[in-house]
């Protein structure tokens, strides 16, 4: 495991090092000045300015900041808002392909992490969703349940319906089924782990934050089909964040 | 009369057909744009476009919003000594202020003072003594700035605060864990970062009889790469 991580990381370093001096895109400044800062942030000082009509080479981008190099080889970081006011050699404005709210309405895939409470125990959930259309998506979720009296895991497959995908804050309804495994924590009596099927219905809200980020909160009612006389019921609430792409 | 009209129309049609089938310029007949051809052969070509057409594509710029790295340091497992911890971290920078972060780590806890003093049977087996954790959360770059080395060098840096949740496996059980910390990141190169982190992993534990909140402080040094 550790070796694998080390290898992956070495690869990352190699890729990053290779990318560091890649050929950049050349753009022409349209704003009166292009302000080059020492770092990718609003607090870093402006150390150079490039005048209108001059060319700069775009080396890389980090969040909303672009690292550019001017004709004299000086490097600095320029904000996205100024980069939008530059021309590419074809004479058109530089297009920056950024995810926006419209993409949130039409997104296909979503992965996220939620934490919350499942029947009195803490729960951590990772999920992935695929949208069949703007309203309906399928979801696969795996959860780790961590309680004072029992631990467990759950895996669920469900569908989510978003009635109004155009809104920034979207209510949704969900239902599905899955398997849950509960291991009671017994210091004196060792109780065996149980695996049962469950079904849930629920609802929640998801809201567009920025870029590719969503904040999501949900509530679910579970029925666990036990092999005893009575089924068990549990409710769950969770909050977390997700990416869409 | 009818014949004459027919001949006139036919010849006009022939001229039209002839004109339209003529190549625009004699380089490549297939590339000749049809609607641009003159109605009759008389109209001289006034403007010959010399501009090369370019395909406009969205700019392909190398984005570096991900950061991955390895971590090593010391972890104080409450009641079980301070030990070496190894781990890894992955972060996604959402904007210049916030990032999402996942960390994993592993350490082998030592003996509790009770075990050491009583000299009796150990409380935990070796496998139960292994402390592994993961945590997922957010970070806020609270103090972005620069570190000045001598008079000529300045390295970009930030002091950040993190908050996360995850799970810790220790003493034969998984425990829900909240993680809070602060760190300093210094960029040695634009793509290479060094982090100094202090974190507290908080969880409930009942190894020593009663249930209690355990604080496990960790100080680590990490090397990360942006990609």
- The pLDDT tens digits of the residues spanning B36-54 come to 444 555 666 677 767 666 5
Query: Would you place residue A137 in the very low, low, confident or very high pLDDT band (cuts 50, 70, 90)?
Result: very high
ipTM higher than threshold 0.95: no
Whether residue B128 is predicted with pLDDT greater than 80 in this model: the reply is: yes
Q: What are the E-state strand segments in chain B?
A: 62-63, 66-76, 82-93, 98-108, 130-149, 153-170, 173-187, 192-205, 212-226
Residue A58 sits at the chain B interface (C-beta within 8 Å): yes
Mean residue pLDDT across chain A: 85
Tell me the whole-structure pTM to 2 decimals.
Answer: 0.75
| Structure-model confidence comparison of residues A26 and B86, the more confident one | B86
Whether residue B24 is predicted with pLDDT greater than 50 in this model: the reply is: no
**Contact between B95 and A146 using a beta-carbon 8 Å cutoff:** no
Least confident of A165-174, B19-28, B33-42, B59-68: B19-28
Residue whose C-alpha is closest to residue B16's, from B45, B46, B38: B38
Distances A192 to A169, A189, A224, B171 between C-alpha atoms, Å: 43, 10, 17, 19
The percent of residues above 70 in pLDDT, for chain B, comes to 76
Residue A43 sits at the chain B interface (C-beta within 8 Å): yes
**Contact between B68 and A12 using a beta-carbon 8 Å cutoff:** yes
**Contact between A44 and B61 using a beta-carbon 8 Å cutoff:** no
Residue A229 sits at the chain B interface (C-beta within 8 Å): no
- pLDDT mean over A88-115: 82
Whether residue B142 is predicted with pLDDT greater than 70 in this model: the reply is: yes
Whether residue B27 is predicted with pLDDT greater than 50 in this model: the reply is: no
Q: Return residues 198-217 of B near A (CB < 8 Å).
A: 204, 206, 211
> pLDDT tens for residues A180-212?
999 887 665 677 888 999 999 999 999 998 778
CA B58 to chain centre: 20
**pLDDT given for residue A186 in this prediction:** 66
């Amino acid at each position: 495991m550790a070796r694998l991580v080390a290898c992956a990381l070495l690869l990352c370093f190699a890729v990053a090092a290779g990318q560091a001096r890649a050929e950049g895109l050349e753009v022409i400044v349209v704003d009166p000045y292009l302000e080059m800062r020492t770092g990718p942030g609003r607090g870093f000082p402006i150390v150079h300015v490039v005048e209108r009509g001059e060319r700069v080479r775009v080396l890389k981008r980090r969040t909303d900041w672009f690292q550019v190099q001017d004709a004299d080889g000086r490097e600095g970081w320029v904000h996205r808002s100024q980069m939008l006011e530059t021309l590419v050699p074809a004479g058109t404005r530089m297009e920056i392909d950024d995810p926006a709210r419209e993409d949130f309405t039409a997104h296909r895939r979503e992965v996220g992490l939620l934490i919350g409470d499942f029947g009195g125990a803490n729960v951590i959930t990772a999920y992935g969703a695929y949208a069949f259309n703007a309203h309906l998506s399928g979801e696969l979720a795996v959860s780790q349940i961590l309680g004072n009296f029992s631990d467990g895991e759950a895996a669920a497959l469900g569908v989510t319906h978003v009635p109004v995908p155009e809104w920034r804050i979207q209510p949704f309804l969900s239902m599905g089924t899955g398997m849950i495994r509960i291991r009671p924590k017994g210091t004196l009596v060792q109780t065996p782990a149980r695996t049962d099927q469950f079904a849930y219905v629920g609802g929640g809200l998801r809201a567009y934050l920025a870029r590719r980020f969503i904040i999501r909160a949900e509530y679910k009612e579970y029925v666990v089909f036990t092999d005893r006389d009575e089924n068990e019921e549990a409710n769950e609430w969770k909050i977390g964040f997700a990416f869409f792409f | 009369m009818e014949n004459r009209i027919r001949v006139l129309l036919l010849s006009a049609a022939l001229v039209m057909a002839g004109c339209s089938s003529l190549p625009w310029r004699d380089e490549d007949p297939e590339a000749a744009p049809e609607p641009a051809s003159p109605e009759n052969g008389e109209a001289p070509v006034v403007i010959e476009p010399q501009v090369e057409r370019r395909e406009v594509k969205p700019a392909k710029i190398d984005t570096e919003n991900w950061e991955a790295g390895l971590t090593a340091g010391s972890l104080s497992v409450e009641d079980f000594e301070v030990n070496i911890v190894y781990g890894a971290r992955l972060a996604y920078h959402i904007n210049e202020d916030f990032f999402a972060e996942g960390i994993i780590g592993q350490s082998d806890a030592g003996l509790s003072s009770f075990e050491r003093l009583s000299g009796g049977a150990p409380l935990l087996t070796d496998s139960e003594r292994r402390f592994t954790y993961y945590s997922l959360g957010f970070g806020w770059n609270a103090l972005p700035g620069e570190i000045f080395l001598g008079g000529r060098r300045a390295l970009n840096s930030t002091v950040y605060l993190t908050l996360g949740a995850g799970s810790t496996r220790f003493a034969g059980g998984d425990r829900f864990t909240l993680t809070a910390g602060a760190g300093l990141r210094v960029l040695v190169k634009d793509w290479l970062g060094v982090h100094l982190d202090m974190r507290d992993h908080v969880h409930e534990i009942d190894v020593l009889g009663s249930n209690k909140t355990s604080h496990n402080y960790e100080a680590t040094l990490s090397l990360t790469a942006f990609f």
